[in-house]
Amino acid sequence: MKMRWMLCGLLALGLLVAGAAHAQDSLVVYSSVDEENAKKLLDDFTKATGVKVRFTFLSSGPAVARIEAEKNNPQADVWYGAPSENHVVLKEKGLSQPYVSPVAKDLAAKFKDAEGYWTSFYMNPLGFASNLNTLKQKGVEAPTSWADLLKPEFKAQVQTPSPQTSGTGYNMVAALVTIMGEEKAFEYLKKLNPSIQTYTQSGTAPSKSAAIGQAAVGIQFTPAFLQLMEEGYPLKITFPKEGVGFEAPAISILKGAPHPELAKKLVDWSISIPGQNALTDAKTFFFPVQAKAKLAKGLPAFGDIPAINYDAVWAGNEKKRLVDRWINEVLRAQK
């Protein structure tokens, strides 16, 4: 009997040790990339490197809150995704640690923090997607400028995310401030109110409404538009000639990460040519940040998009103030 208990004890100890070793070998990721695409990309990372990954999906606000709550006992190694201005906030809160990947030398300055606190691994421009059937019914062309959205034909026909709940919505506000200057941008946003059918909570909801004709125009980042077009929905993508912002989702290694060396491998792979090609091979419809990476069919060359010089550091620093101003002057004045 004593021998049996001893064997059971040894077996239990062995399982605990094996479990600990398994956890030690697993990279823990908080992902703000949508779950479907995160799984594709992180599975490709595992195939390429042998590093196992456990990930939890969290949108940007809850991700920062959770990372901050766990700062004295970090439970994750990496924050993966969310526009880079959110990673600026993480850096300022002292919740991330620097790592300058040797591969980062190939990236433009706008896609990386100079000190290595965050590194962007894809980008997406903001764009308009118009439902071709709805445009035909209304006898109007697809908008090609911010000014076009003020036309009477677009009254209550445009959906865009709320900057109060969506990083995409905030990107639009910050981009307009960059393009027009703050005072003119807020005057424009107030004039735009009659055209807005709804400010959506989700950053990807406008694409679905435009696809089924519930709205004539959706404004958001382009991946969902491109996917819906591939599925056969009657959408046309246009970019406002005055300029558009873009998101450049990033990776940050968390301060006190339990597995920092594994985290560095994810950063390196994500911005390498094989990692960048995975964006296309996995049909994410994300734009690579490496100029030599594959570009998916249907994606315009980045040089053909009127992208502005979007300052993620400035946008991150000004986020609370600009969102508060938008709530007070635009949302509360709606219609």
Q: Are residues 149 and 216 in the same domain?
A: yes
SS3 assignment, position 228 = helix
| pLDDT on residue 123 | 93
By C-alpha distance, which of 240, 237, 243, 213 is closest to 150?
240
Domain match, 97 and 140 both: no
Does residue 162 sit in the same domain as residue 229?
yes
Answer whether residue 4 is part of any domain. Answer: no
Q: Are residues 31 and 70 in the same domain?
A: yes
Question: Do both 321 and 190 map to the same domain?
Answer: yes
Do 292 and 198 belong to one domain? no
Q: How far is CA 321 from CA 61, 81, 178, 289, in A?
A: 16, 23, 15, 29
Q: Are residues 252 and 113 in the same domain?
A: yes
The string of pLDDT tens digits covering residues 40-65 is 999 999 999 999 999 999 988 889 99
Which residue segment(s) compose the domain that 319 sits in? 126-246+309-331
Q: What is the pLDDT of residues 166-193, one digit of tens each?
A: 888 999 999 999 999 999 999 999 999 9
CA distances from 8 to 12, 20, 22 (A): 6, 18, 21
pLDDT of residue 87: 94
Decide if 173 is inside a domain.
Answer: yes
Residue 139 has a pLDDT of 95
CA pair distance 310, 109, nearest whole angstrom: 11
Structure tokens at 267: 């950063």
Which residues, given as ranges, of the chain have pLDDT below 70?
Answer: 1-24, 334-335
Is 174 inside a domain boundary?
yes
Q: Is residue 21 part of a domain?
A: no
Tokens, residue 265:
């491998």
Residue 53 lies in a domain: yes
Name the token pair of 67: 């990372």
**Pick from 34, 42, 17: which is nearest to 262 by CA?**
42
Task: Note whether residue 8 is domain-resident.
Answer: no
Same domain? 53 vs 165: no
Residues 192, 53 share a domain: no
Residue 100, token pair as written in the block: 């300058």
Q: Per residue, what are the HEC states of 12-77? A: HHHHHHHHHHHHHHEEEEEECCCHHHHHHHHHHHHHHHCCEEEEEECCHHHHHHHHHHCCCCCCCC
Is 220 part of a structural domain of the chain? Answer: yes
What's the number of domains the chain is made of? 2
DSSP structure class, residue 288: P
Q: Does one domain contain both 211 and 314?
A: yes
**Count of alpha carbons within 13 Å of 147, Cβ hemisphere only?**
5
CATH number at residue 279: 3.40.190.10
Radius of gyration, alpha carbons of the chain:
22
**pLDDT of res. 334:** 66
* Nearest CA-CA partner of 238 in 122, 141, 139: 141
Question: Is residue 58 domain-shared with residue 202, that is, in the same domain?
Answer: no
Is 15 contained in some domain?
no
If asked whether residues 196 and 220 sit together in one domain, one would say: yes
